[in-house]
Chains A and B, each alone.
Chain A
């Protein structure tokens, strides 16, 4: 980044100060070095994973053959998939309501919707644990076939994901030109037709961005899943947690790398969709 900057020593030209560039470099190095080593050492042949001994894909093959790990990954993806669908619908409904209507105690309602975002994760985790056990849902889930036995975790994930979706979709709706809606109704379209043909197409980038956000949040969640998963169900982060407690192994590196790639791709996509539009796009 530094090489491209224009030289100049104006008083406010902090961007080209050497000390700032060095500081930038150091902080970015600290931020990325652990992650990059983790990814690099997933390709390492050394079993203890300390010294670089050569390139291999064996760790990925081993992770792939590890049935417990694959089961955990399948569970995680299934949970994220189901939670994303429900959270996106609920989040879009909240966003539409807050965008369209004035109603009493609206500020209070917005605060209520923001609660799952601000509350410490561990508090939400233990509250849901208590709820699932006391309502008998924990007991019930043990006897259900896959993927219904993941129901409790899906419910928990939806609860903390959909307020985030609502925030994303609402920020998209703010830019909507309400005259389009009026025009549609003036031209004889019903409420329902206007919704599907005018509002939904406009919301679409927000919906996709919100869905991707919900997907990554769900896939990444450890704390809430740790408390709400029954003894029989394991998700990927919970599995990695139990492995990490036993020590470091290149197999975990390989599995982690796969998860990093999935979430980074989803995030970059979401950010692209959320970014202010360039001319000629949607």
Chain B
């Protein structure tokens, strides 16, 4: 690798266009959002204006975000995401484990099958779930043949959590697979030879040794869950509002952009917090980076 001073012309030719693009069409927009989050709707002649804003008026929007109404929604977003993440871990671990111990020629194909749904449009996958779970859907059709139901399975927290697990599970499998694959299998043999049961070996050897992958996967799933908008919107209906839906509402129907901007920044801080935890743990586990 050469120092940029040795060849500054090439350095600038390579570096300037993307840096300009990201600054102009990403950082500056975030700057607009940041300023907006500290602003308020302008009051003109004693009337609250719809289109005009008075900028940088204070932190009232952030204070409002801690109203009990919004605090409840934030809290609900957190536990819904946490539960979905936990369920992802429970389903993804055996999958990743199974792929690692599958015959070598099967591994790439099995991995492809896990990742493939991830590439199918999020909206289409959510739509597919609606078709399965709606009142006249396939699940109720099957239940109907044995004389049960129909049940209302959509538009509640269960549907949202199921949808999130369904959508983000592949994110969990990949980091888990990477750590389990690298796990020195002789540790497991040693543990079994020394008399530990399979279950004990799993809890005391496999899980601690694959902890970096678990943490990585948990954070990779938790972040998009927390910021999700489409899944709770389509599967949760009015009953399962998450923070993403509140933000969308501020920018569309409620037309309260400053408050929406403040909520967006709170969501971003939460995301950065989760990422910071991840890199902190990655550093402590001696450079095992996923």
The chain A residues found within 8 Å of chain B, CB to CB, are 1, 4-6, 11-15, 20-21, 23-24, 27-28, 30-35, 37-38, 41, 48-51, 89-91, 93-94, 96-97, 99-103, 112-113, 115-116, 118-124, 126-131, 134, 155-156, 158-159, 162-163, 166, 191, 216, 219-220, 222-223, 227, 237, 240-241, 244-245, 248, 252-253, 256, 259-260, 263-264, 267-268, 271, 275
Contact, CB under 8 Å: A118 / B244: no
Contact, CB under 8 Å: B26 / A94: no
Contact, CB under 8 Å: A120 / B131: no
Indicate the member of B4, B26, B112, B251 with the most A CB atoms within 10 Å: B26
Contact, CB under 8 Å: A37 / B11: no
Cα–Cα, bound, A91→B125 (Å): 29
Indicate the member of B122, B123, B223 with the most A CB atoms within 10 Å: B123
Which stretch from B42-50, B209-217, B267-275, B282-290 is at the chain A interface? B267-275
Given A102-B1, A120-B227, A122-B247: A97 and B15 within 8 A (CB)?
yes
Which stretch from B28-36, B56-64, B67-75 is at the chain A interface? B28-36
Report the minimum CB–CB distance from B269 to chain A (whole Å).
10
- Contact partner of A126 among B33, B112, B113, CB < 8 A? B33
Contact, CB under 8 Å: A259 / B101: no
Cα–Cα, bound, A100→B36 (Å): 39
Which residue of chain B is the closest to A5 with respect to CB atoms? B103
Chain A residues near B14: list those with CB within 8 A.
Answer: 93-94, 96-97, 100-101
Chain A residues near B30: list those with CB within 8 A.
Answer: 123, 127
Indicate the member of B22, B117, B134 with the most A CB atoms within 10 Å: B22
Report the minimum CB–CB distance from A29 to chain B (whole Å).
12
Report the minimum CB–CB distance from A125 to chain B (whole Å).
8
Which residue of chain B is the closest to A166 with respect to CB atoms? B18
Contact, CB under 8 Å: A13 / B101: yes
B149 on the A face (CB < 8 A): no
Contact, CB under 8 Å: B94 / A20: yes
Contact, CB under 8 Å: B131 / A1: no
- Contact partner of B25 among A23, A159, A259, CB < 8 A? A159
Given A23-B98, A50-B141: A260 and B267 within 8 A (CB)?
no
Chain A residues near B185: list those with CB within 8 A.
Answer: 12
Determine the main DSSP class of A at the interface with B. Answer: helix
Chain B residues near A240: list those with CB within 8 A.
Answer: 123-124, 127
Report the minimum CB–CB distance from A242 to chain B (whole Å).
11
Contact, CB under 8 Å: A122 / B244: yes
Contact, CB under 8 Å: B21 / A223: no
- Contact partner of B33 among A113, A123, A263, CB < 8 A? A123
Which residue of chain B is the closest to A131 with respect to CB atoms? B29
Contact, CB under 8 Å: A131 / B28: yes
Chain B residues near A264: list those with CB within 8 A.
Answer: 116, 119-120
Cα–Cα, bound, A13→B267 (Å): 44
Indicate the member of B17, B106, B120, B122 with the most A CB atoms within 10 Å: B120
Given A1-B106, A113-B22: A120 and B224 within 8 A (CB)?
yes
Cα–Cα, bound, A269→B2 (Å): 34
Cα–Cα, bound, A32→B4 (Å): 49
Report the minimum CB–CB distance from B100 to chain A (whole Å).
8
A-B contacts, 30 listed (Cβ < 8 Å): A15-B102, A23-B94, A23-B95, A27-B94, A31-B169, A34-B128, A34-B131, A37-B132, A89-B17, A96-B14, A101-B3, A101-B4, A102-B2, A103-B11, A113-B22, A120-B244, A122-B244, A122-B267, A126-B247, A127-B26, A127-B29, A130-B32, A130-B36, A162-B18, A163-B22, A220-B119, A222-B122, A240-B124, A241-B123, A245-B234
Report the minimum CB–CB distance from A98 to chain B (whole Å).
9
Chain B residues near A48: list those with CB within 8 A.
Answer: 136
Which residue of chain B is the closest to A97 with respect to CB atoms? B14
Contact, CB under 8 Å: A127 / B33: yes
